[in-house]
Homo-oligomer: A and B are copies of this chain.
Amino acid sequence: MTERGYQLLQDTVERLLRRHATVHLRNILRKTHPADIAYLFKLLNEDSARTIFELLPNVEIAADVLSEMQPALRTQFLQQLDLNRLVEILSAMADDDAADLLSDLPEDFREQILVLMSHKDTEEVVAGLLSYPEDSAGRIMTTDYLALPETMTAQEAIQEVRTASETEMVFYVYVIDQEGRLSGVVSLRELVVATDQTPLSRIMTREVVRVTVTTDQEDAAQQVSRYNLLAMPVVDDQEILVGIITVDDIIDVLREEATEDILKMAGTSEEEISSFSVWRSVRVRLPWLFAAWLGGVIAIKIIGGFEVHFQEKIALFASLAAFIPVIMGMGGNIGTQSLSITVRGLATGRIDPKLLWRVVFKEIRVGLLLGLAYGLLLALVGWVLNKNVALGVVVGIAMCGNMTLAAVVGTFLPLLAVKLRIDPAVASGPFVTTSIDVLGVTLYFLTALLIIM
């Protein structure tokens, strides 16, 4: 649906809500894709959203709508729903979606729901998924898949596909041995093409790309993306098939991870992006800003320390001070560029941590060249503005040195983080800016002291 389509839908729904035209509303909702209803909820006020949710034709649609809603909006929304209705909807939901939804809820609320769900057969599965670590393959897998024995014929397998109508998306049939271990895979297409009496063991591909329940979801996404898969089996440590991850969940993982990287580099988090709570935003941003603030206070002390040496030439010191923003700013800019390239290159696999020195060495040259260009320009400005050649030389050298240093720091820190098995995005964002600030100020006034004094 286009943006204009949503506008139209919103207008219509709001008009009908004012008129209490529930029959008409139900008709519209029946014809609207659950993903579009979920989108509509962003545009409606809370009361209207709740009314619309009550009017959804059945629990299956309600389950689909909840699955497609933004997690932050959804968590808020759920806590106003009738608990029994919620339990019913959760039971109608795909198990991985239900687990995902529950994992965002406050713990006591979640426990309450799981207790109420305990008489439903889905509870065990959902609780099982919730037992895997956050961001693991086990958390995002579904247990809705078709696993058939090696000895079954193609014809029988097709019959199984026909009857397994509950299984949402069948595109691969997984083949298991007598112990339930994954032994092969047959695509639905290979099945249709095969002659009727062929056993699955003859048509299956034996080399199946797989992950274990504890594999990080990002690694799982990399594999699906690299091998262009539509689904990937998940096994436990005994190689027993326990679930599959489908490509639509992989897309969500990839988007989430990209968002996380961007936000972590800036020293904030996913938590902030769709919440309108000011306090949450403040709390999320506070820690990194404190690190940066501390770096800034150290810079004050450093500048104060240098100032003492300029007692006799305080006017010169004041002239030098005017260049602080441009020298610091350019260092910060080039450092952020190097950081962004390295963090994203690592995430997409285009930068190999093994090539550390090659990458760093390249950045030294890039930083040096750009530093020379802008250092030369700034030297000219310093000379012309202050009619002082020495000052021009100082600001030029400081600019060049600072830009080179910043490029190296921005590249080296994320690569070092990977070596130390720390997330490069979260580890390097704060350190890069703060260390560039502190190092930059020191370098600048040291140069000044050596050349002018």
Contact = CB atoms under 8 A, between A and B. Distances in A.
A52 to B, nearest CB: 17
A259 B170 CA distance: 32
Contact of A225 (B255, B319, B334, B337): B255
A1 to B, nearest CB: 8
Interface in A305-345: 307, 310, 314-315, 317-319, 321-330, 332-334, 336-337, 339-341, 343-345
A285 to B, nearest CB: 6
Contact of A293 (B268, B340, B378): B378
Nearest to A187: B169
B226 A340 contact: no
Name, among A228, A247, A265, the residue most crowded by chain B CB atoms within 10 Å (CB to CB): A228
Contacts of A440: 325
Given A158-B192, A273-B350, A362-B276, A326 B344 contact: no
Interface in A170-229: 170-171, 188-189, 192-193, 224-228
Interface of A: 33, 35, 39, 42-43, 68, 70, 158, 161-162, 165, 169-171, 188-189, 192-193, 224-228, 230, 247-248, 250-252, 254-255, 258-259, 261-263, 265-268, 272-274, 276, 278, 281-282, 285-286, 288-290, 292-293, 295-297, 299-301, 303-304, 307, 310, 314-315, 317-319, 321-330, 332-334, 336-337, 339-341, 343-345, 348-352, 354, 358, 362, 365-366, 369-370, 373-374, 377-378, 381, 385, 433, 437, 440-441
